[in-house]
């Protein structure tokens, strides 16, 4: 069976997370996106864990509310502010990890993503005691990531077992497969959503080939055992990620890595701090100039939120206007999910529901006939369906590449 899974989100008890992030709202929104399985997030938080306990456990390690299945997941921050994603087999495993990690955390009862005064290897070893799966979250971003803090996974995890690596919004398979040490790892593309709306939830997800929906089957897929595997990583074109390019965190002006270093990581435009982009960080640690995909690596399908394309068609900037939301809901009602509209639906039928302009933009999106202004410095990139903007003539450079489908 094919399962669309987003395995990294946060509940309402994590910092900077929407109060709408309840189990019930997540379960309601996930099918609209086209998701079958969602990580609970925050399974170490006592109040969130109580919400999870109210769910029906339908298979080993799999819980359900309505049409949405959940697997227990959590994220922790280590002593060097590196984030680690945990996928747990059971409620008893969550309790074990709460007890073990709680000895080294002052906020495990307050924050859905607790801070733990341990290193990555220690966290991975403790996860192993509970038969949990572990891997680095958003591995390349310039905050709270393994490759921000270290030049290799071994420096972080030592000899401890790592089961997967999460790409994050600003990287994709082509970028990560320039690093030799990652060749044997399974890649995950997850949303890290802090709100339940389909522009966030499932903005990145994985398609899995399983025999049934259970923790054991999910584990086999991530370890590529018995024919179970990840068959597709689906996510942003990495240039849309908000930390893809090196840029100022105040005015978002883009810089080449060489110029940022020459300027001492200060913006000539506003004096703000420059943040190294994911593409530049990966170039620093890459083994090869071009990707070398191992035989087991699935394709990476680039998508963008449907609401953003609708907003462009409607000539508005916000995806939350009544008109954009009305069109979005009409399309999902007809075609079943957002993914179906973006990838599979006949554009003639899309035109009938959402208008000729929207159908034209979706066709251009599918065929790669658009440009992207790269994200950087904390601001997301932007899809441009018309003529590409000119480069910034100043000391910083607005990076813009033609779309590669």
Whether residues 28 and 174 share a domain: the answer is: yes
Final residue belonging to a domain, choices 223, 239, 255: 239
Confidence (pLDDT) at 350: 97
Whether residues 218 and 337 share a domain: the answer is: no
* 280 in a structural domain: no
Final residue belonging to a domain, choices 239, 273, 288: 239
Whether residues 235 and 363 share a domain: the answer is: no
* 376 in a structural domain: no
Confidence (pLDDT) at 153: 98
pTM (predicted TM-score): 0.92
Whether residues 197 and 311 share a domain: the answer is: no
Confidence (pLDDT) at 389: 64
Whether residues 180 and 83 share a domain: the answer is: yes
Whether residues 117 and 22 share a domain: the answer is: yes
Mapped to the 3 state alphabet, what secondary structure does the chain carry?
Answer: CEEEEECCECCCCCCCCCCCCCHHHHHHHHHHHCCCEEECCCCCCHHHHHHHHCCEEEECCEEEECCEEEECEEEEECCCCCEEEEECCCHHHHHHHHHHHHCCCCCCCCCCCCECCCCHHHHHHHHHHCCCEEEECCCCCCCCCHHHHCCCHHHHHCCCCCCEEECCCCCCHHHHCCCHHHCCCEEECCCCECCCCCCCCCCCEEEEECCCCCHHHHHHHHHCCCCCEEEEEEEECHHHCCCCECEECCCCCECCHHHHHHCCCECCCCCCEEECCHHHHHHHHCCCCCCCCCCCCCCEEEECCHHHHHHHHHCCCCCCCHHHHHHHHHHHHHHCCHHHHHHHCCHHHHHHHHCHHHHHHHHHHHHCCCEEECCECCECCEEECCCCCCCCCCCCCCCEEECCC
Confidence (pLDDT) at 157: 98
Number of domains in the chain: 2
* 340 in a structural domain: yes
Confidence (pLDDT) at 367: 84
Final residue belonging to a domain, choices 239, 271, 295: 239
Whether residues 233 and 308 share a domain: the answer is: no
Confidence (pLDDT) at 121: 98
* 374 in a structural domain: no
* 294 in a structural domain: no
* 400 in a structural domain: no
* 402 in a structural domain: no
Whether residues 309 and 235 share a domain: the answer is: no
* 63 in a structural domain: yes
Confidence (pLDDT) at 271: 97
CATH code, domain with 57: 3.20.20.140
Residue 362 belongs to domain spanning? 304-367
Confidence (pLDDT) at 368: 80
Structure confidence by residue, pLDDT tens digits, 150-207: 999 999 999 999 999 999 999 999 999 999 999 999 999 999 999 999 889 999 999 9
Residues of the chain under the 50 pLDDT cut: 391-405
Confidence (pLDDT) at 37: 98
């Amino acid at each position: 069976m094919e399962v669309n899974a987003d395995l990294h989100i946060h509940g309402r008890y994590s910092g900077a997370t929407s109060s709408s992030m309840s189990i019930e709202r997540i379960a309601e929104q996930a099918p609209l996106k086209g998701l079958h399985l969602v990580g609970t997030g925050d399974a170490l938080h006592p109040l969130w864990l109580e919400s999870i306990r109210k769910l029906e456990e339908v298979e080993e390690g799999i819980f359900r509310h309505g049409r949405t299945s959940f697997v227990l997941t959590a994220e922790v921050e280590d002593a060097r502010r590196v984030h680690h994603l945990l996928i747990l087999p059971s409620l008893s495993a969550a309790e074990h990890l709460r007890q073990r990690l709680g000895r080294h955390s002052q906020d495990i009862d307050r924050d859905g993503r607790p801070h733990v005064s341990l290193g990555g290897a220690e966290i991975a070893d403790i996860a192993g005691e509970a038969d949990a799966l572990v891997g680095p979250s958003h591995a390349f971003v310039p905050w709270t990531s393994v490759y921000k803090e270290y030049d290799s996974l071994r420096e972080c995890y030592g000899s401890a077992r790592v089961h997967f690596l999460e790409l994050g919004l600003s990287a994709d398979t082509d970028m990560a497969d320039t690093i030799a040490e990652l060749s044997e790892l399974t890649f995950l593309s997850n949303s890290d959503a802090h709100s339940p709306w389909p522009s966030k939830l499932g903005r990145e997800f994985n398609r899995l080939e399983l025999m049934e929906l259970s923790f054991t089957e999910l584990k086999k897929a991530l370890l590529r055992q018995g024919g179970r595997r990840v068959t597709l990583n689906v996510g942003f074109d990495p240039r849309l990620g908000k930390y893809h390019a090196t840029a100022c965190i105040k005015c978002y002006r883009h810089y080449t890595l060489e110029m940022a270093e020459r300027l001492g990581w200060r913006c000539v435009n506003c004096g703000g701090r420059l943040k190294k982009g994911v593409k530049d960080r990966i170039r620093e640690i890459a083994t090869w100039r071009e990707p070398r995909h191992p035989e087991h690596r699935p394709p990476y399908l680039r998508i963008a939120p449907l609401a953003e394309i609708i907003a462009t068609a409607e000539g508005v900037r916000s995806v939350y206007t009544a008109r954009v939301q009305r069109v979005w809901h009409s399309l999902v009602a007809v075609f079943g999910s957002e993914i179906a509209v973006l990838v599979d639906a006949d554009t003639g039928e899309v035109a009938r529901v959402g208008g000729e302009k929207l159908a034209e933009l979706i066709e251009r999106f599918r065929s790669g006939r658009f440009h992207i202004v790269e994200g950087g410095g904390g601001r997301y990139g932007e899809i441009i369906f018309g003529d590409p903007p000119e480069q910034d003539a100043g000391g910083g450079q607005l990076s813009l590449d033609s779309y590669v489908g």
